[in-house]
Amino acid sequence: MVEFLYREAELLDSNRFGDWLGFLAEDIHYVMPVRTTQFRAKGEGFQDVAFFEENFVSLRTRVKRLETEFAWAETPPSRTRHFITNVLADPGDKAGEFHVRSSFMVTRTRSDQGYQLFTGQRQDVLRRSDAGDFKIVSRRILIDQTVLSGSNLSIFF
């Protein structure tokens, strides 16, 4: 399972987004809620409004866009590095599914600029197929920042 997450990170860091789609289930829900600063009693501040609200078709649209060479936000491409740590897995709600939490640190540089930094936790649901490989059924990206310091989100988490 950890190796699966590492292999996924390698695809994202080497601009192999088409291959990355192969790691996603066709019924995937991929979401990054907007976070707000709240007092502890009110929870972690995640809101219904999101930075990403995606299904498989919309993620594939994003990937196709990056492949056009006219997506200026990634043309020329950013360099990203996905550091995935603190992986914890529990049995999921359905047979063959697992709740997998991991911490991420994603660095992004582009052009001659310095680093943009994104950190947070991913809450995934992974499904194991009969063939034994995993697919990502659900990914909830819990970003630490309330105000993103990256100029845009043309990368994946």
Q: Which of 21, 25, 50, 84 binds other proteins (CB under 8 A)?
A: 50
Integer Cα distance of 32 and 17 in angstroms: 19
52 binds other proteins (CB under 8 A): yes
Q: How far is the CB of 2 from other proteins (least distance, A)?
A: 27
Q: How far is the CB of 56 from other proteins (least distance, A)?
A: 9
- Say whether 106 sits in a helix, a strand or coil: strand
Closest to other proteins by CB, 17 vs 134, is 17
φ/ψ of 47, rounded to 5, equals -110, 170
Give, rounded to a whole angstrom, the gap between the first and last alpha carbons of the chain: 17
- Say whether 32 sits in a helix, a strand or coil: strand
φ/ψ of 53, rounded to 5, equals -145, 85
**Contact positions with other proteins (CB under 8 A) in 87-116:** 111, 113
> Which amino acid does the sequence have at 26?
E
Stretch 63-92: interaction string toward other proteins, x if CB under 8 A = -xxx-x-xxxxx------------------
Chain residues in the site for other proteins (CB under 8 A): 32, 34, 36-39, 45, 47-55, 57-58, 60-62, 64-66, 68, 70-74, 111, 113, 146-154
